[in-house]
Homo-oligomer: A and B are copies of this chain.
Amino acid sequence: MRMITLSEAATLLLENDNFHILTHRYPDGDTLGCAYALCYALRTLGKNANVKMNGKLPSKFTYLAENYCEQDFPCDFVVSVDVAADSLLGELEQEYKDRIDLCIDHHGSNSLKADNTLVDATCAAACEIIYVLIKSMKVEMTVDIANAIYTGISTDTGCFCYTNTTAQTHRIAADVISLGCDFQMINRINFETKTRAKLKMERMVYDTMEFYCGGKCAIIYTTLAMQKALGAGDDEMEGLASIPRQIEGVKMGITMREKEDGTFKVSVRTNDGINASEFCARFGGGGHMAASGCSIKGDLSSVKYMLIKAAEEVL
C-alpha cells in the first residue's frame, strides 16, 4: 500500500482508462455519490468507466443513475471509493480484492489492500475528496456530477448536522448548488420523507429502547420478524441508527439490526469524544470516531449482552 497525494491520484486517473469503480456493501449515499460522480467525470474525459454496484442500488438513490448505462469494455484499472476495509468489499471481494489500483477514502482507519491509497480523514464525506479531485482534473462539472457529490456530502453529514461537517463541506455544497444540483429533491428523499411503514418502524423501535450505564448508553434493535410484520424494506431501516444517541444524556447509542445471515448489523453513534471506532474494532468492525459499525453473530439477547458489557467497560 502506497499513500499518495490528491494530485498523484489525479495523474493516475488521467493516465489510465477502462475503469471499474467499486462501492462498499450496503451502499450508502457517499459511496454511491463518489462512484457516480467519478464515473460521469471520467466519461466526460472520454474514458470508459462503470460503477460496480455492491448489492442492489437502493431505490431512493435511483436518481443518481438516471443518466447512467453500463458500458462494455475490458477492465484495466480498479478504483474503490469510500471502502475502508477488505471485508466491506462484500460481493465484489472475490473478483477484485487483489487488483485494486487506487483506493480513495476518508476513513482514517482505512486498511483496504490497494496499490495506491488516497485517504483524507479531514473530509466529512469521501465525496469531498472526489469533488476536489474532479476539479483538479479540470473536468467540467455537470448537474449529474453535482447531484452525486451533494448526495454524498449531505448523507454522510446528516444534512450538515453531524460534528464531522466542516467549512469545506459547506463550500462544496454552495458550489454544487450553484451548479444546479437538485438539492431540494435530494434532501426531500433522504431527510424529509417517511413512508408510513417507516413511521411505524420508528415507533416500534422506540418501544425496544433500553438505557444502561446510568443513562449514558441507549440501545435499540430491529428483528427480521419486526421488519416482516411491517413490510419494511431497507429504506425503512435507514436512519434508525441516529435515534438512540439523540436522547439527552446518552453518550453511546447502539442500534442492532438482525440480518438474514444470522448476524446483527450493529451501528454505534457516540457523543463527547467516546471512540465508536475503537468500540467496534473489538468486534471486528470500525469506522469513524463518532459513527462506526460492526457485525456480530448470535441471537438477540447474547449479542445485546456482549454490547452492553463492552459499553460498561468504556463508559
> Which residue of chain B is the closest to A209 with respect to CB atoms?
B199
Q: Which of A215-260 contact B (CB under 8 A)?
A: 245-248
A284 to chain B, nearest CB (A): 28
B171 touching A187, Cβ below 8 Å? no
In this assembly, does A134 line the interface, its C-beta being within 8 Å of a C-beta of chain B?
A: no
Residues of chain B within 8 A of A196, CB atoms compared = 247-248
In this assembly, does A192 line the interface, its C-beta being within 8 Å of a C-beta of chain B?
A: yes
Compute how far the CA of A203 lies from the CA of B247 in the bound complex, rounded to whole angstroms: 14
Complex interface: stretch among A36-44, A111-119, A157-165, A294-302: A157-165
> Which residue of chain B is the closest to A163 with respect to CB atoms?
B184
A245 to chain B, nearest CB (A): 7
Complex interface: stretch among A50-58, A65-73, A102-110, A173-181: A173-181
B170 touching A246, Cβ below 8 Å? no
Selected from B160, B195, B247, B271, the residue in CB contact (under 8 A) with A199 is B247
Q: Mark A176-200, 1 if CB is under 8 A from B, else 0.
A: 0110000110011001111110010
Residues of chain B within 8 A of A171, CB atoms compared = 170-171, 174
B187 touching A161, Cβ below 8 Å? yes
> Which residue of chain B is the closest to A215 with respect to CB atoms?
B196
B161 touching A191, Cβ below 8 Å? yes
Compute how far the CA of A186 lies from the CA of B172 in the bound complex, rounded to whole angstroms: 21
Selected from B159, B174, B184, B192, the residue in CB contact (under 8 A) with A168 is B174
**How many chain copies does the complex carry?**
2
Compute how far the CA of A173 lies from the CA of B177 in the bound complex, rounded to whole angstroms: 14
B178 touching A245, Cβ below 8 Å? no
A177 touching B184, Cβ below 8 Å? no
Compute how far the CA of A175 lies from the CA of B183 in the bound complex, rounded to whole angstroms: 20
Residues of chain B within 8 A of A166, CB atoms compared = 177
> Which residue of chain B is the closest to A206 with respect to CB atoms?
B203
Residues of chain B within 8 A of A167, CB atoms compared = 173-175, 177-178
Selected from B161, B175, B203, B271, the residue in CB contact (under 8 A) with A159 is B161
A269 to chain B, nearest CB (A): 10
A129 to chain B, nearest CB (A): 17
Residues of chain B within 8 A of A194, CB atoms compared = 246-248
Compute how far the CA of A246 lies from the CA of B194 in the bound complex, rounded to whole angstroms: 6
**Can you spell out 12 A-B residue pairs with CB atoms less than 8 angstroms apart?**
A159-B160, A160-B160, A161-B187, A163-B188, A165-B187, A170-B170, A171-B171, A171-B174, A193-B248, A195-B248, A196-B248, A203-B203
Taking A165-B177, A167-B177 as known contacts, 15 extra A-B pairs with beta carbons closer than 8 A to each other, sorted by chain A number, are: A158-B159, A159-B159, A159-B161, A160-B160, A160-B170, A161-B187, A162-B187, A163-B184, A165-B187, A192-B245, A192-B246, A193-B248, A195-B247, A195-B248, A199-B247
5 smallest A-B Cβ distances: which pairs? A170-B174, A167-B177, A167-B174, A170-B173, A160-B160
